[in-house]
């Protein structure tokens, strides 16, 4: 049988399954212990469990290219808000944290030639692809927090949710607050 890059992780899983950690996850799948919904990048250097110390069951983690707030992210979040409103109306509302990071590979979408090849391959259209680039994470995180706060799909429940924006610096390992979550959202 050929070797697999995944094989060591199956061994890690066997060790995990032998612990009681799996028994400590939330009973309600969309209400994480830490009341946190995290949106961040797929970059393996931005692993929330390592960078933020988030254990199993403590947060919902949505990861995509650049950690951007896309229509797909909004639709997923709208589902969670809908579940919260209808299945657990008396439970506390969670907080949304959007984290962008320095040296993000999505910045390569600013390269016209590289982006054109991606668009030709069937990726996002050129305008969307260019907009996905995280070149200045402190600016793009502001844009994405604003997108969440104004998304009509998230009404009315999102009014009860705190939304914060952060930048993770790969060189220093620190996360800096760009948008304080404060109280409930505002227009």
> Which CATH number goes with the domain that contains 100?
3.40.1050.10
Cβ proximity of 97 and 181 under 8 Å: yes
Distance, CA of 58 to CA of 44 (rounded, Å): 20
36 secondary structure, DSSP code: E
Compute the distance between CA of residue 181 and CA of residue 29 in angstroms, rounded to an integer: 24
Residues 6+ apart with CB under 8 A from 113: none
Distance in angstroms (rounded) separating the CA atoms of residues 161 and 179: 14
How many whole angstroms separate alpha carbon 113 and alpha carbon 31? Answer: 43
Domain hosting residue 53, numbered range: 40-179
**33, part of any domain:** no
Residue 27 within any structural domain of the chain: no
Residue 165 confidence (pLDDT): 97
Torsion of CA 63, 65, 70, 72, to 10 degrees: -60
Environment class of 182 (CB within 10 Å of its CB; exposed 0-12, middle 13-18, buried 19+) = exposed
For residue 47, is it within any domain?
A: yes
- Specify if 22 maps to a domain: no
pLDDT given for residue 187 in this prediction: 40
For residue 148, what are the contacts with CB-CB under 8 A and spacing of at least 6? 69, 74, 77, 96, 98, 154, 158, 163, 185
Does any domain span residue 2?
no
Please name the helix (run of DSSP H) or strand (run of DSSP E) that holds residue 62, with its range, or none. Answer: strand 59-64
Per-residue pLDDT of the chain (187 residues; tens, 9 = 90+): 668 999 898 999 899 889 888 777 777 777 888 889 999 999 999 999 999 999 888 999 999 999 999 999 999 999 998 888 888 888 888 899 999 999 999 999 999 999 999 999 999 999 999 999 999 999 999 999 999 999 999 888 777 789 999 999 999 999 999 999 975 544 4
Identify whether 72 is part of a domain: yes
pLDDT of amino acid 2: 67
What is the number of structural domains in the chain?
1
Quickly tell me which residue has 């927090």 as its tokens.
145
Residue 91 belongs to a domain = yes
Q: What pLDDT score was predicted for residue 31?
A: 80
Query: Please, what's the b/e burial string for 30-55 (b: 16 or more CB within 10 A of its CB; e: otherwise)?
Result: bbbebbbbbbbbebeebebeebbebe
Is the distance from CB of 88 to CB of 31 less than 8 angstroms?
yes
Q: Specify if 1 maps to a domain.
A: no
């Amino acid at each position: 049988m050929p070797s697999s890059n995944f094989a060591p992780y199956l061994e890690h899983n066997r060790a995990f399954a032998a612990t009681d950690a799996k028994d400590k996850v939330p009973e309600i799948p969309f209400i994480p212990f830490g009341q946190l919904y995290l949106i961040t990048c797929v970059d393996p250097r931005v692993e929330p469990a390592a960078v933020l110390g988030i254990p199993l069951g403590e947060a919902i983690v949505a990861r995509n290219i650049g950690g951007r707030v896309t229509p797909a992210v909004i639709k997923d979040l709208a589902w969670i808000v809908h579940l919260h409103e209808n299945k657990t109306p008396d439970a506390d509302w969670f907080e949304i944290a959007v984290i962008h990071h320095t040296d993000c590979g999505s910045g390569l979408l600013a390269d016209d030639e590289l982006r054109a090849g991606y668009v030709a391959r069937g990726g996002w259209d050129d305008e969307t692809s260019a907009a996905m680039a995280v070149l200045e994470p402190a600016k793009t995180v502001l844009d994405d927090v604003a997108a969440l706060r104004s998304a009509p799909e998230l009404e009315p429940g999102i009014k009860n949710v705190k939304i914060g924006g952060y930048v993770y610096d790969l060189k220093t390992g620190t996360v800096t607050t760009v948008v304080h979550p404060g109280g409930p959202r505002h227009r």
